[in-house]
């Protein structure tokens, strides 16, 4: 199994438009963070996690030639507004099986009616994504591309976001805490991914870095990677300050698991 980070930034991305801070003007390529996305190589194909606005460019950057299934963690713009880019994988008429939580089905249908309404057909010579939505329940495994994937529900301010565990990988983004049932699913993973914004000031819907470190200790993974990082922290700074076993992810990082 392999995990590839496509985007490791927040909804603003890094650099932030109009900002001249040390991170936004850094010449370290690891400080350039596009919006959240990832790919997990499973036995029977590649699972795409979210469809951020930069999706096409991200896939080209890491050389991903195909996607076989899609997992949508929630419906915030930075996680779904690149959904049209999956047309590249369905243009020949193949449906893309997609999993999301039941509460996001109506929102996705409303916001992307042209995709999900069969009455809306593209003009001759054009196309639209062919997506088949499947739903899951928290902590109940679903079979995807030859592996059991266990949905992990986490509070994200008001709404919930849905990470997962598959084999030795635990993947959680946009979390404010890990409830007891999420911890029960995640304990024992080899590699854990958690969102983390910055040091210090708490945020209403995301871990700050200190909170993410504490949550990582509760899970006890061999290695924890932090993603969804803001421009308030530089990659090199994080390398110096994070404890052993915790590291910052960066766009394009590939991790072998298991």
Mean pLDDT in the chain?
97
Q: How far is it, in rounded angstroms, from Cα 16 to Cα 112?
A: 27
Interval 60-89 mean pLDDT: 97
Q: Is the pLDDT of residue 92 over 90?
A: no
Interval 74-78 mean pLDDT: 97
pLDDT of residue 258: 81
> pLDDT-derived band of residue 256, with 50, 70 and 90 as boundaries?
very high
Which tokens is 108 given? 């996705």
pTM of the complete model: 0.96
| Total count of domains within the chain | 1
> pLDDT-derived band of residue 169, with 50, 70 and 90 as boundaries?
very high
Interval 87-95 mean pLDDT: 91
Spatial CA neighbour of 230 closest among 208, 184, 197: 197
In the chain, what percentage of residues exceed pLDDT 70?
100
Interval 174-180 mean pLDDT: 96
pLDDT of residue 124: 87
Spatial CA neighbour of 149 closest among 11, 1, 248: 1
Q: Can you give the chain as a three-state secondary structure string?
A: CEEEEEECECCCCECCCCCCCCCCCCCCHHHCECECEEEEEECCEEEEECCCCCHHHHHHHHCCCCCCEEECCCCCHHHHCCHHHHHHHHCCCCCEEEEECHHHHHHHHHHCHHHHCCCCCCCCCCCCCCEEEEECCCCCCEEECCEEEEEEEEECCCCEEEEEEECCEEECCCCCCCCHHHHHHHCCCCEEEEECCCCCCCCCCCCCHHHHHHHHHHHCCCEEEEECECCCCCHHHHHHHCCCCEEECCCCCEEECC
Spatial CA neighbour of 47 closest among 65, 75, 67: 67
pLDDT of residue 222: 97
Which of the residue ranges 3-12, 82-91, 116-125, 227-236 would you say has the lowest mean pLDDT?
116-125
Q: How far is it, in rounded angstroms, from Cα 243 to Cα 176?
A: 20
Q: Is the pLDDT of residue 93 over 90?
A: no
Task: Give per-residue pLDDT as tens, 141-165.
Answer: 999 999 999 999 999 998 999 999 9
Asked whether 63 and 56 are in contact (CB, 8 A), the reply is no
Task: Give per-residue pLDDT as tens, 38-66.
Answer: 999 999 999 999 999 999 999 999 999 99
Which tokens is 217 given? 């200790």
CATH code of the domain containing 127: 3.60.15.10
State which residues form the domain around 214: 2-256
Asked whether 148 and 47 are in contact (CB, 8 A), the reply is no
């Amino acid at each position: 199994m392999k995990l590839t980070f496509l985007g490791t930034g927040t909804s603003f991305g890094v650099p932030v438009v109009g900002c001249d801070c040390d991170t936004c003007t850094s010449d370290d390529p690891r400080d350039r963070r596009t919006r959240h996305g990832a790919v997990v190589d499973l036995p029977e194909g590649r699972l795409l996690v979210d469809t951020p606005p930069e999706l096409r460019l991200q896939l080209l950057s890491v050389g991903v030639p195909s996607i076989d299934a899609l997992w949508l963690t929630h419906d915030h713009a930075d996680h779904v507004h690149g959904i049209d880019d999956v047309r590249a994988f369905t243009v020949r008429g193949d449906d893309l099986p997609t999993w999301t939580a039941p509460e996001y089905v109506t929102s996705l249908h409303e916001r992307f009616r042209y995709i999900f309404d069969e009455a809306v057909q593209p003009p001759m010579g054009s196309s639209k994504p062919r997506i088949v939505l499947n739903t899951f329940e928290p902590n109940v495994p679903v079979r995807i591309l030859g592996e059991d994937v266990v949905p992990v529900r986490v509070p994200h301010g008001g709404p919930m976001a849905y990470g997962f565990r598959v084999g030795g990988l635990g993947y959680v983004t946009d979390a404010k805490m890990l409830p007891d049932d999420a911890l029960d699913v995640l304990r024992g993973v080899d590699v854990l991914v958690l969102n983390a914004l910055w040091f210090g000031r708490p945020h209403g819907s995301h871990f700050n870095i200190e909170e993410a470190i504490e949550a990582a200790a509760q899970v006890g993974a061999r290695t924890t990677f932090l993603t969804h990082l803001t421009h308030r922290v530089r990659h090199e700074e994080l390398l110096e300050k994070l404890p052993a076993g915790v590291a910052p992810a960066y766009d394009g990082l590939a991790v072998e698991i298991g």
